[in-house]
Amino acid sequence: MAKVTQNQRINSIFSKIHKNYDAMNRIMSFGIDVRWRKKAAEKVIKNTSEDAKILDVATGTGDLAIAIYDLAERSNKKIDLYAIDMNEQMIEIAKKKFGDRKINLMLGDALKMPYPDNFFDIVSAGFGTRNFDDLKKFSNELMRVLKDGGFFVIMDMALPKKEYQRAFFKFYFQVIRFWGYFIDRESYEWLISSIEHFDFEKFKVILEKSGFENVRYDPLSFGITYVIVGKKGKMPIDKITG
């Protein structure tokens, strides 16, 4: 019998929880995840030019892609927005939520993106990177599909650095684990464990080794979430505002 890979396991988990995924995000983030996505979308749109090609990887149910698209509309910026995810059930939910928004949605793996080299001006990701089984491979793919001078905006959850904040969230996650035990123990355990073990410092080093310049990450909401940005090229990262 073939060994189940981590990607296959994760895909199976999301197939089980896809209907409750949005609700789980609200619960685990105290409902602040909506504001976090708006912050990430601002970094994308405020720093993009007309007709920019933007890719949202691991789009899930599409909330970050929607935030980016809607902000571009309000800002009167024309963009060419793409979104991919490896899970068919999540893609179906995203498709319904997109409605008549012109977002190029397709099934695709962030570790093997179905796009040519130097294709995108910006790549975004929201709450997906901590589930990748090979961050080095993802970072190399990110470098490959971005144009020279292009940049990424990646947002994800991790435990805060300060001990009293970590203690609070560890207690909170135990409550979520107890609640998840009655719904889907494996899925909830995986999602919480992925947050507890995600290390932005190590991710930053991986991105820099792939060749990205001026990689920087900023904490949001006491450090339970981080936004990490970086450039393919030498433009100072402090020019990425929002």
Task: Report the percentage of the chain scoring pLDDT > 70.
Answer: 82
Q: Per-residue pLDDT averaged across 200-227, rounded?
A: 90
Give tens-digit pLDDT for 159-198.
Answer: 888 887 778 778 777 777 776 666 667 777 777 888 888 9
Instruction: Evaluate the CA torsion angle 167, 170, 171, 172 in order and state its sign.
Output: positive
Q: What is the pLDDT of residues 187-212, one digit of tens each?
A: 777 778 888 889 999 999 999 999 99
Burial group, residue 99, by CB count within 10 angstroms (0-12, 13-18, 19+): exposed
Q: Which two tokens stand for residue 121?
A: 């001006």
pLDDT class for 133, splitting at 50, 70, 90? confident
Q: What are the chain's domains?
A: 6-239 (3.40.50.150)
Higher pLDDT, 88 or 27: 88
Q: Among residues 235, 236, 176, 227, which one has the least CA distance to residue 67?
A: 227
pLDDT at residue 187, rounded to an integer: 72
pLDDT score, position 23:
64
> Following CA atoms 114, 41, 35, 159 in sequence, which dihedral angle do they give, to the nearest 10 degrees?
60
- Distance from C-alpha of 154 to C-alpha of 227, rounded to nearest angstrom: 6
